[in-house]
C-alpha cells in the first residue's frame, strides 16, 4: 500500500532507495532464474544472511499485528502456525496446526478454461482482466454476434499483446458464437472449451432487457428476456452434470430486481429467480452454484449511460472496481445466493411528512421546483419506475391514496407543490377523479359494429327515434341522452363496409336504404349531432323523413372550402374521445399530439395514451380505425 514517508527519519542520516522490483522481474528475461541460482549458491557461505525475525505464536496473531503498526521493528514479523518437529524425516506424529480464523482468497487455475457467457459486454471485459490477474489464462467468451465494436477488438488485442511482453501473462481467449439456448450449441461450446484445457468454471453474464410495465409488455419480448437468462444456464448445468465436469465455479450474475423487485422488470426478475433456484439445487447436490444479485453498476453495463438518480430507491450505482473487489469475497461464500449493492446516503429532512416526501421527489428528479413549470407531469420530466413505486407506496401507506404507477407519472409539478404545503385533499380528489374516469372509459366499447343498427335504450313502446352516427362513429357520447328519451331510440351504425364509400352522397344513400328497410312506410323521425346532423340534412332532401332533430351541425361548406383543418378535426375527435379524462391528462395529450408530424401519428398517440391510462380493461380493438374513419368525413 502506498503511504507518505515521514521526513523526521531522514534527520538520522539515513538514505531511502526505491527499487522497482517488477521492472527487473517481469521485463528482464532470465533475471529471476539467475537471481534464484545466485541466492542458493551463497546461502551456505555466509554471504546471504537471514533477516531479523520477530516471531509470535499463532494465538498471538492480534498482538503481532499491533506490534507491526508501531513501526519499531526491523526485519520481518512472523507468526508460528505450529512448532517444527525435531525429527525432520518423521512421516507420522507431526505437530498439529493451530486453528485460526482466516479469509479465503479467490484463485483461478491457469491450466483450466473459464467460460463467460456475455463476456464481450462491458462488465465481461472488465471481469476478464480481474480473473487474469488472479491466475486465469484460458477463456471462452460467448456472444450472439461475435466481436463487433472497436472497443471489444482493442481489449482482446491488448490481452494478447500483454502475453507477448510478459510470458507469465500469456492468455488464450476464444470468442464463441454457439447458441447456448440450444442443447447442441451448449455441447459444442463445452467441447471447444475442453480443447483449451479442463473447464474450471462457468460465469453467466448474458442478458437481454425489455423493461416496461406488464400491461404494455408483449409475449415475445417477455419471453426473450427470460430465455436469454434461463435457457443457457439450464443447459450449462444439465450438460456439465451429464459430462461429469467438476467445476470450481458455477456463477450467474443476478440482479436486485429479483431479490428487491423493480417496476417494469418482472420478466428479468423471474428469469434471475429461475437461475437462483438452479444454484440452490447444485448446492444441495454438493456442486458449486452461486447467484450474485448486483445492484445498478455505473461504469459499464446496461445502466452505464443512463442518467438515473436512485436516491429515492435507497441505492446508488456501484463502481465496477468496487464490484470486482467485493466479488473476491462473494465467490468464497458457502451460500447459493448473495447480494451486493450500495445504499444511498439519505439526508435528514425537516418539516412535515408531506414536505419530506415531496423533497425526496425533487431530489430524485434532479429539478428545481421553483423554476419548473407547474403543468409538466412527473412522467414528462422523466421519473423512473423505481421512484414511482416508492411514491406510490408512500401515498398509499401514509394517506390511503391508491393510484397506479401510470397515474403517478401523470401527477403534475403544481399538484406536488400543493401537496407539499399540506393540500392532501386535492391529491385524494385527483385519485378519485382518475378512478371515476377510468371506470367510465372502460364501459365504452371502441369496436366498429357489424350490425346495421343497435338499440340505445330499453323503451319498447312508442314511435322510434333514429340516431345517425356522430363524428367518432360510436354512440358512447349520446347514450346518456338516449336513456332519458321516453320512446325507442335506435342507433344507425357506421360499419366497416362504409369505409369503402367515397363521398357524402354514397353515405346518405346507404342510410336512406337502411331507414327504408327499418321503416318501409316512411315518415320516420331522425336525430343528428355534428356530422350526423349533416347527414340528417341530406336525408331531409332524399328520404321521407317525418321530423328531424339537428344539433351542432357541421357545415358542408366548411368541409368543401377546407375551413376545417386537420388540427381542428384532431381537437374535435380528442374532445369526444377524452371527454371523461382528467384535465391534467387532456392537457398532456394535447402537448404530445402537437409534436407529432402528421394526422396518423397524432391519432396513434391519442389511442396509445387512452390504452395506457385504462390498461387492458379498455375494449379498444378498433380504436385507431374509428379515429381514421372520422377523417374520412373530411376527405369525403
Residue 140 in this model has a pLDDT that exceeds 90 = yes
Residue 575: CB partners within 8 Å, gap ≥ 6? none
Give the pLDDT confidence of 419-470 residue by residue, as tens digits: 988 888 888 988 888 888 888 888 888 888 889 999 999 999 999 999 998 8
Residue 306 in this model has a pLDDT that exceeds 90 = no
What would the mean pLDDT of 329-338 be, rounded to a whole number? 92
What would the mean pLDDT of 338-352 be, rounded to a whole number? 73
Cα–Cα distance for residue pair 513/519, rounded to 1 Å = 10
The SS3 call for residue 203 is strand
- The closest of 432, 363, 357, 418 to 390, measured between CA atoms, is 357
DSSP per-residue letters across 539-561: HHHHS-EEEEEEESPPPHHHHHT
Residue 310 pLDDT level (bands cut at 50, 70, 90): very low
The conformation of residue 134, written as its DSSP 8-state character, comes to T
- The closest of 379, 435, 431 to 410, measured between CA atoms, is 379
Measure CA of the first residue to CA of the last residue in the chain; give whole Å.
82
- The closest of 120, 125, 185 to 148, measured between CA atoms, is 120
Q: How many residues does the chain have?
A: 636
488 or 621: which leads in pLDDT: 488
Cα–Cα distance for residue pair 425/437, rounded to 1 Å = 18
Helices (DSSP H) in 448-582: which residue ranges? 479-484, 504-518, 531-542, 556-560, 566-577
Residue 634 in this model has a pLDDT that exceeds 50 = no
DSSP per-residue letters across 244-305: T---SEEEEEEEHHHHT--TT-HHHHHHHHHHHHHHHHHHHTTS--EEEEE--BSSSSTTTT
Residue 11 in this model has a pLDDT that exceeds 80 = no
558 or 525: which leads in pLDDT: 525
Mean pLDDT, the chain, rounded, equals 82
Beta bridge partners of 293: 254, 339
Residue 213 in this model has a pLDDT that exceeds 80 = no
What region, left, alpha or beta, does residue 197 occupy, with left being phi > 0 and alpha being psi -120 to 50 degrees?
A: left
Residue 345 pLDDT level (bands cut at 50, 70, 90): low
Residue 560 pLDDT level (bands cut at 50, 70, 90): very low
What would the mean pLDDT of 594-614 be, rounded to a whole number? 81
In CATH terms, the fold of domain 353-443 is 1.10.1200
The SS3 call for residue 91 is coil
Residue 142 in this model has a pLDDT that exceeds 70 = yes
pLDDT value, residue 483: 92
What would the mean pLDDT of 516-534 be, rounded to a whole number? 87
pLDDT value, residue 311: 38
CATH 3.40.50 fits 444-636, yes or no: yes
Report pTM.
0.53
Lowest mean pLDDT among 8-17, 92-101, 180-189, 475-484: 92-101
Cα–Cα distance for residue pair 166/233, rounded to 1 Å = 35
The conformation of residue 181, written as its DSSP 8-state character, comes to T
Residue 630 pLDDT level (bands cut at 50, 70, 90): low
Residue 348 in this model has a pLDDT that exceeds 60 = no
Cα–Cα distance for residue pair 194/245, rounded to 1 Å = 10
pLDDT value, residue 441: 82
Phi and psi at residue 3, to the nearest 5°: -135, 155
DSSP per-residue letters across 21-32: HHIIIIISTTHH
Residue 336 pLDDT level (bands cut at 50, 70, 90): very high
pLDDT value, residue 94: 59
113-343 and 353-443 have identical folds: no
What would the mean pLDDT of 23-29 be, rounded to a whole number? 72
pLDDT value, residue 211: 78
Residue 331 pLDDT level (bands cut at 50, 70, 90): very high
547 or 210: which leads in pLDDT: 547
- The closest of 320, 333, 130, 184 to 251, measured between CA atoms, is 333
Cα–Cα distance for residue pair 394/390, rounded to 1 Å = 6
Q: Which CATH architecture has domain 113-343?
A: 3-Layer(aba) Sandwich (3.40)
Q: How far is CA 301 from CA 66, 104, 296, 511, in A?
A: 42, 28, 9, 62
Q: How far is CA 206 from CA 86, 194, 202, 203, 491, in A?
A: 56, 21, 12, 9, 57
Nearest 5°: CA angle at 32, between 27 and 38?
Answer: 140
Cα–Cα distance for residue pair 31/466, rounded to 1 Å = 104
Domain ranges of the chain: 51-82, 113-343, 353-443, 444-636
Amino acid at each position: 500500500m502506498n503511504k507518505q514517508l515521514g521526513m523526521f527519519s531522514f534527520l538520522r542520516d539515513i538514505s531511502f532507495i526505491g527499487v522497482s522490483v517488477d521492472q527487473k522481474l517481469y521485463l528482464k528475461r532470465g533475471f529471476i532464474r539467475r537471481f534464484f541460482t545466485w541466492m542458493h549458491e551463497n546461502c551456505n557461505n555466509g554471504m546471504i544472511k537471514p533477516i531479523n525475525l520477530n516471531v509470535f505464536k499463532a494465538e498471538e496473531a492480534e498482538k503481532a499485528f499491533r506490534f507491526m503498526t508501531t513501526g519499531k521493528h526491523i526485519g520481518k514479523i512472523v507468526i508460528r502456525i505450529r512448532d517444527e518437529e525435531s525429527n525432520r524425516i518423521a512421516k507420522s506424529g507431526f505437530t498439529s496446526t493451530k486453528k485460526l480464523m482466516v479469509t479465503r482468497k479467490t484463485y483461478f487455475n491457469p491450466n483450466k478454461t473459464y467460460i463467460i457467457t456475455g463476456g464481450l459486454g462491458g462488465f465481461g471485459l472488465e471481469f476478464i482482466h480481474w480473473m487474469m490477474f488472479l491466475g486465469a489464462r484460458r477463456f471462452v467468451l460467448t456472444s450472439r454476434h461475435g466481436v463487433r465494436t472497436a472497443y471489444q477488438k482493442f481489449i482482446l488485442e491488448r490481452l494478447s499483446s500483454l502475453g507477448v511482453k510478459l510470458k507469465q501473462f500469456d492468455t488464450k481467449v476464444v470468442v464463441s458464437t454457439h447458441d447456448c439456448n440450444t442443447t447442441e450449441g451448449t455441447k459444442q461450446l463445452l467441447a471447444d472449451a475442453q480443447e483449451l484445457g479442463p473447464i474450471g468454471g462457468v460465469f453467466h453474464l448474458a442478458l437481454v432487457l425489455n423493461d416496461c410495465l406488464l400491461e404494455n409488455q408483449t409475449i415475445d419480448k417477455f419471453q426473450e428476456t427470460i430465455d436469454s437468462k434461463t435457457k443457457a444456464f439450464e443447459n450449462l448445468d444439465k450438460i456439465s452434470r451429464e459430462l461429469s465436469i467438476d467445476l470450481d465455479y458455477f456463477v450467474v450474475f443476478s440482479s436486485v430486481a429479483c431479490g428487491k423487485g423493480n417496476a417494469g422488470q418482472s420478466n428479468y426478475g423471474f428469469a434471475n429467480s429461475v437461475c437462483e433456484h438452479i444454484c440452490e439445487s447444485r448446492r444441495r447436490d454438493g456442486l458449486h452454484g452461486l447467484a450474485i444479485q448486483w445492484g445498478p453498476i455505473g461504469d459499464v453495463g446496461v445502466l452505464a449511460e443512463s442518467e438515473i438518480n436512485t436516491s429515492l430507491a435507497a441505492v446508488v450505482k456501484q463502481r465496477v472496481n468496487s464490484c470486482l473487489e467485493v466479488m473476491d469475497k462473494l465467490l468464497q461464500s458457502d451460500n447459493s445466493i448473495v447480494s451486493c449493492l450500495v445504499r444511498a446516503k439519505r439526508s435528514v429532512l425537516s418539516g412535515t411528512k408531506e414536505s419530506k416526501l415531496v423533497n425526496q421527489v425533487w431530489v430524485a428528479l434532479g429539478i428545481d421546483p421553483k423554476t419548473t413549470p407547474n403543468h409538466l407531469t412527473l412522467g414528462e420530466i422523466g421519473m423512473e419506475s423505481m421512484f414511482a413505486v416508492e411514491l406510490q407506496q408512500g401515498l398509499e401507506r401514509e394517506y390511503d391514496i391508491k393510484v397506479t404507477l401510470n397515474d403517478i407519472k401523470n401527477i403534475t409539478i403544481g399538484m406536488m407543490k400543493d401537496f407539499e404545503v399540506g393540500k392532501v385533499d386535492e391529491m385524494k380528489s385527483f385519485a378519485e377523479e382518475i378512478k371515476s374516469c377510468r371506470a367510465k372509459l372502460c364501459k365504452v366499447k371502441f369496436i366498429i359494429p357489424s350490425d346495421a343498427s343497435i338499440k340505445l335504450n330499453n323503451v319498447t313502446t312508442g314511435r322510434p327515434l333514429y340516431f345517425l352516427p356522430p363524428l367518432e362513429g360510436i354512440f358512447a357520447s349520446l347514450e346518456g341522452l338516449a336513456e332519458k328519451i321516453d320512446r325507442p331510440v335506435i342507433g344507425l351504425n357506421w360499419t366497416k363496409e362504409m369505409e369503402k364509400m367515397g363521398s357524402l352522397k354514397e353515405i346518405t344513400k346507404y342510410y336512406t336504404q337502411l331507414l327504408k328497410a327499418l321503416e318501409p312506410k316512411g315518415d320516420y323521425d331522425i336525430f343528428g349531432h355534428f356530422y350526423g346532423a349533416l347527414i340528417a340534412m341530406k336525408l331531409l332532401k332524399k328520404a321521407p323523413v317525418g321530423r328531424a332533430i339537428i344539433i351542432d351541425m357541421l357545415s358542408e361548406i366548411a368541409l368543401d372550402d377546407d375551413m376545417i383543418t386537420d388540427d381542428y378535426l384532431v381537437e374535435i375527435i380528442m374532445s369526444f374521445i377524452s371527454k371523461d379524462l382528467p384535465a391534467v391528462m387532456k392537457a398532456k395529450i394535447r402537448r404530445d399530439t402537437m409534436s407529432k408530424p402528421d394526422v396518423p401519428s397524432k391519432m396513434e398517440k391519442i389511442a396509445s395514451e387512452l390504452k395506457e391510462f385504462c390498461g387492458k380493461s379498455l375494449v379498444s380493438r378498433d380504436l385507431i380505425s374509428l379515429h381514421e374513419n372520422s377523417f374520412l368525413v373530411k376527405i369525403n
